[in-house]
Amino acid sequence: MQQQNLKYTFRFGKTKIIFNKAAHEPEIQVFAKALVFALYHKKYPSLKVEAKVDERFQPDLSAQDYEGKMLFWAECGNVSLAKIEKLFKKYRHAHYVFVKEKYEIPTFEKNLSRYLKDLRTLPLVDILVYPEKFAEWWVSEEGDVFIPPEEVEIVRWHEPK
């Protein structure tokens, strides 16, 4: 039996966004995208979901300035270290956010440190800890998303000097 893509509608105040869930994506990835949007859409007003921005890699969420300079890039699922390295080199001044479940973070941080130790400069990198009960506690049945920022743990993995 073939799985099909699903659509999820989320509301952030007056903003309504439809998120696509590909057949191969776990449901948590869709909710992680909604979480990132809820936390960052005010800081990055041009934030878009699944926008085509790069000929090779597509972010889950991204924001660019008026000249097309990448300001923000979020990955909500599995992402290879090779991809991260290429992105860090190409978009040196972007703010990167990686959403991970709590148990994944020690390994992810260790791999980032080991793999990226030779890069001369690193951008702003945050690891957002996916709240265990996000879908149940912070998203209404109608798709309204409300989560106070203090309810989300954000690990500042690197901050440029």
Residue pLDDT, tens place only, 117-135: 877 888 999 999 999 999 9
CATH of residue 25's domain is 3.10.640
Residue 12 lies in a domain: yes
* Dihedral sign computed on CA atoms, order 119, 105, 17, 55: positive
Tally of domains within the chain: 1
Residue 57 lies in a domain: yes
Q: Measured between alpha carbons, how far is 154 from 40 in angstroms, rounded to an integer?
A: 12
Domain range for 88 is: 6-158
Residue 30 lies in a domain: yes
Beta bridge partners of 95: 72, 124
Identify the CA nearest to 37 among candidates 89, 127, 97, 79: 97
Please provide the DSSP assignment of 10-38 as one string.
EEETTEEEEEEE-TTS-HHHHHHHHHHHH
Q: Measured between alpha carbons, how far is 100 from 79 in angstroms, rounded to an integer?
A: 11
Residue 1 lies in a domain: no
Residue 81 lies in a domain: yes
pLDDT of residue 1: 45
Residue 69 lies in a domain: yes
Contact 43, 141 (CB under 8 A): no
Residue 88 lies in a domain: yes
Q: Measured between alpha carbons, how far is 141 from 55 in angstroms, rounded to an integer?
A: 36
> Tens digit of pLDDT per residue, the chain (161 long)?
455 678 999 999 999 999 988 888 899 999 999 999 999 999 999 999 988 887 788 999 999 999 999 999 999 999 999 999 999 999 999 999 999 999 999 999 999 998 888 778 889 999 999 999 999 999 999 999 999 989 999 999 999 87
